[in-house]
Amino acid sequence: NAGVTQTPKFQVLKTGQSMTLQCAQDMNHNSMYWYRQDPGMGLRLIYYSASEGTTDKGEVPNGYNVSRLNKREFSLRLESAAPSQTSVYFCASSDIDREGQPQHFGDGTRLSIL
């Protein structure tokens, strides 16, 4: 049981390049999330998907797009990368139908934009 799997683990991009971060979960969770983690800022929600076929903006959505491909997969796309998007990106999933259910996190993608 792999939980939440993110690819790639590391990536270096040049300003203006595009790329897609992949996330898949095998826990049959309804909800999936993308966060970025920056020093002193904690976790900030970029986008989330309450269920297959729906996506909503979080706290810091600018410069990103997402796709909930199916129940398992939730990808994050940077169309034109900027140095301010240098960060560690975490994908998470949860089952919102049960009270008190925590989120399960992937190992993160460390992204550097030059």
Residues that bind other proteins (CB under 8 A): 31, 33, 40-43, 45, 48, 50, 58, 90, 92, 96, 99-100, 102-103, 105-108
Comparing CB distances to other proteins, the nearer of 33 and 74 is 33
Q: How far is the CB of 61 from other proteins (least distance, A)?
A: 13
- CA distance to 19, 37, 88, 91, 114, per residue, from 72 (Å): 20, 23, 21, 12, 31
Let me know: does 47 contact 66? Beta carbons within 8 Å: yes
Report the residue number, 47 or 85, with the smaller CB distance to other proteins: 47
Kindly tell me which of 62 and 100 has the beta carbon lying closer to other proteins.
Answer: 100
Where does 1-114 have alpha helices with state H? Answer: none
User: Min. distance of Cβ 70 from other proteins in angstroms?
Assistant: 21
